[in-house]
Amino acid sequence: MSKKHKSSQFPPSRSNPPNQSPAGQNSGNLTKLNSMPNSTPAVQEAIAPSEPSRIKPEQISLDAHHHIQKYLEISHKPKLDKNDLNAILRLSQHLRIFGLLSAVGYLNQSNAQENNETRKRTFPVWRVLLGQMIDEINPSGTRKLMEIEAPNEMARELMKEIVKMANERPSEYMASWRKSLNLSNHWNFWARAYQED
C-alpha cells in the first residue's frame, strides 16, 4: 500500500478548527450540550466544565489584581505593608494545606482569640479576598458578601455559604477550592507588586 493511498484513507480531522483546543471548543459552545441527542444531564455535567475551571489564567490574574485593589480601597492604604503581605502569603499556604472551608473557618474562630495579633492582622485581608472570590463564584447569592459592612457578620455569612456549598454542591465546592488555589498565586504576585518600598 502506497503512502499516498494510506494518507487519503485517513483524511485529517476537521472536528476542531485550527488553533482551537477541545477544551476551548467546549467552553465556547456549552449551549450545544443541551441539544445533544441521547445525552443525559449526568453526561452533560461531566462534559461541561464548571464555571470556575473555565476561567483563563489571564482573567484570574486580572481578578486577583482587582481583589488586591479592593482591599487597598477598603483599608484606605496606598500600598500593602509587611503585615498585609504576610497575611496574603499565609492565606495561600493555608488554602494549599487545609482547604477553602478551613480558611473560611479561621475567620469564624471564637472571640476569645481576638487578642491574637496575628489573627488581627490576618482577618481583614482574608475576609476581603475570600469574600470577593465567593461573590464572583456565586453572583446569584441571596446577599452579596462584600456589601455587608459588619466584618464579623460578613465572616459568618461567608462561612454559611461555604458550608452550604460543601454539603449540597460538593463538585462546585471543589471547583471553588481549585479557583482559590489559582487565585492565591496571583494574590501573592500582586501583593508583592503593591508592597511598600
**What's the CATH code of the domain at 127?**
1.10.520
Domain limits for position 31: 16-49
Per cent of the chain over pLDDT 90 is: 51
**Does residue 6 fall inside a structural domain?**
no
The answer to whether the CB of 67 falls within 8 A of the CB of 131 is no
Going from the C-alpha of 144 to that of each of 131, 138, 170, the distances in angstroms are 9, 9, 21
Distance of CA 155 to the CA centre of its chain: 17
Work out the mean pLDDT of the chain and round it to a whole number. 76
For the entire predicted model, the pTM comes to 0.68
Q: What is the pLDDT of residues 89-98, one digit of tens each?
A: 999 999 999 9
- What percent of the chain is predicted at pLDDT more than 70? 68
DSSP assignments along 19-31, one per residue = T--HHHHHHH-GG
User: Do 97 and 32 have their domain in common?
Assistant: no
Q: Is the dihedral of CA 20, 25, 187, 72 positive or negative?
A: positive
94 in the same domain as 37: no
Residue 7 lies in a domain: no
